[in-house]
Amino acid sequence: MRICVSILLIMTFYGCQEQRVQPSIISNIQLEKLPSQESFNAKVTFTDSGKTKAVLHTGHIRVFYDTQETLLDSSVKVDFYDENQVHTSTLTSKRGRVDDATQNLWAKDSVVVVSDSGVTITTSELMWRNKDRKIVSDKFVTIVSPKEKIQGYGFESDQSLRNYVIGNPTYTAKRDTL
């Protein structure tokens, strides 16, 4: 028994004398470009006075405290709600950005907004202003409603897509002529 204990102690002591493994260090990483937080399959709820204004879903979210911005990648989806917390519309895009100071959202790449009333907007980029709950864009937009199809540059609407304005229309057609 003493021999077994002695051998075990010698092996333990010898094992501790081995060379320690040093982790490799990557020297070309710029720390200021790393996110403060990162999450996958994230859900963020925007509220005001305890009432839900919007719910954001995204596959990848990166939060940067220094620049006060959040970058959204991999399928962005936002559900909008009115002052009574009733769902009004859904926005989808491939990517986006949130200004953390104002909570304004910029959606980019294949942006589609569909209202519960049947209006659909497609564009390459738009912004949802948190302060007044308006959706705006200076890009080319297409609006299809049960009554009409309008295309043009520049757009502003409430988030339910009931009251919208095209700044510079280039095409307009009544729904029965489409």
Q: Nearest CA to 108 among 134, 80, 73?
A: 73
Number of domains, the chain: 1
- The 3-state DSSP class for residue 26 equals coil
pLDDT tens digits, residue range 147-164? 899 999 999 998 888 888
pLDDT tens digits, residue range 75-110? 999 999 988 999 999 999 999 999 999 989 999 999
Higher pLDDT, residue 26 or 118: 118
Q: Rounded to whole angstroms, how far apart are CA atoms 76 and 125?
A: 13
Q: Is residue 12 over pLDDT 80? A: no
Q: Is residue 15 over pLDDT 60? A: no
Q: Rounded to whole angstroms, how far apart are CA atoms 109 and 7?
A: 67
Strand partners, 120: 114, 144
Q: Which domain holds residue 120?
A: 35-177
* Domain-embedded: residue 22: no
Section 130-150 average pLDDT: 92
Task: Give the domain CATH number at 160.
Answer: 2.60.450.10
| Structure token digits, residue 170 | 């280039």
175 contact partners, CB below 8 Å, separation of at least 6: 145, 146, 147, 148, 149
* Domain-embedded: residue 19: no
Section 62-80 average pLDDT: 92
Q: What is the mean pLDDT of the chain?
A: 86
Q: Is residue 5 over pLDDT 80? A: no
Q: Is residue 126 over pLDDT 90? A: yes
100 alpha-carbon distance from chain centroid = 12
Q: Cα angle vertex 166, ends 85, 47, to 5°?
A: 20
Residue 21: what pLDDT?
74
* Domain-embedded: residue 81: yes
Residue 53: what pLDDT?
86
* Domain-embedded: residue 165: yes
* Domain-embedded: residue 27: no
State percent of the chain over pLDDT 70.
Answer: 84
* Domain-embedded: residue 21: no
Strand partners, 112: 92, 122
* Domain-embedded: residue 88: yes
- The 3-state DSSP class for residue 102 equals coil
Asked if residue 106 lies in contact with residue 129, where contact means CB atoms within 8 angstroms, the answer is: no
25 pLDDT tier (thresholds 50, 70, 90): confident
* Domain-embedded: residue 30: no
Q: Rounded to whole angstroms, how far apart are CA atoms 148 and 174?
A: 4
Q: Is residue 17 over pLDDT 80? A: no
